[in-house]
Amino acid sequence: GAPQDRRYKREEGGRIMQTSKIRKYSTDIHTVKFGNEIRFDTTLGIPQKRENIRFMFGTPRPDEVTALRFNLSFFVMNNPKSEEMCVGRGDAHVNVAYDGEQLYFEPDIPDKPMLWEVASSYMLLRNGQRDNLGQDKLKHLLGSGPRTIWGQDGKGNKYAIIVEGRKWNQKGLNANEQYELVRQMGLKDAITADGGGSSVAFTYDTQIGKVWDGRHHGRIMVGYGKYTLNQLPNLKKGKKGVYVNLMQRLLGITADGSYGGQTKNAVTAYQKANKLLVDGKCGPQTWKALTRGVIW
């Protein structure tokens, strides 16, 4: 049938990510599009430990919240401390580097300082033309299945694409279909990341797609966005997610994104010290005090 296209803008703190869903190749395909207003980064989380991506927040600044996460790396399955593999250049996996403005893909990574460089999988598009670099060495990943694709268009927008699969009504995409998809979307450069059951994205605390099988992840891609005071939610014990992580960071305590008993005690102590209503909850007045001098 004809593709069904659902689009909306997710805006928090003045930062916009455009999220869409289409049905193509008998598969649901989710896209997150964002510009350079999202500070694009990568993280391993806790070194030598694979983690639940819901609780991997990277290193946002005090005036930022974790706005985007999606899976990236392959790792050695039988080594519980392995988080990524094939990170060198010239191997089976194509490296991607970022200078704060655009992505560069091996072997076209310029000799200049980069913010980061990571290993991904095989190429789909380079400068608007089909590119199969890495596909000959990763033939087991060329068939239909769940996939994560990322890349950029010619205007500087970045894309994270989550392809569903492995279900009776979700065929998944093969390499040729992935290429046709990104070409039709108008991307300039695109590459496949680790896929299968690991494929998932989160915008803030909202899961994008239903592929994720709950397994822990190694290296992920992460984006940070600014926030404003009136967009910070009321928090209490039992809450989890990126805003709990923010509150914990501003309190100077362990920022695990989970509002448990120790976090409630820290909030209560902060409220007492700052002559606020002592209720162990983070509402407008507590947020205002916590963010004083951090955001304006």
Select from 53, 46, 82, 87 the least CA-distant residue to 70.
53
DSSP letter (8 states) at residue 199: -
CA angle (215, 181, 199) in 5-degree steps: 5
Phi, psi of 179 (to 5 degrees): -60, -50
Yes or no: say if 291 and 228 are a contact pair by the CB < 8 Å rule. no
Q: What is the pLDDT of residue 12?
A: 47
- Its pTM stands at 0.92
Q: What is the pLDDT of residue 109?
A: 97
Yes or no: say if 209 and 172 are a contact pair by the CB < 8 Å rule. no
Provide block-wise average pLDDT over 10 residues at a time, the chain (296 residues): 42 68 97 95 94 96 97 86 88 94 97 96 97 92 94 96 94 97 98 90 95 90 95 97 98 98 98 97 97 91
Phi, psi of 225 (to 5 degrees): -130, 155
Give the burial string for 183-217 (b: 16+ CB within 10 Å, else e).
eebebbbbbbbbbbebbbbbbbbebbbebbeeebb
Q: What is the pLDDT of residue 3?
A: 40
Query: Which residues neighbour 273 within 8 Å (Cβ) at sequence distance 6 or greater?
Result: none
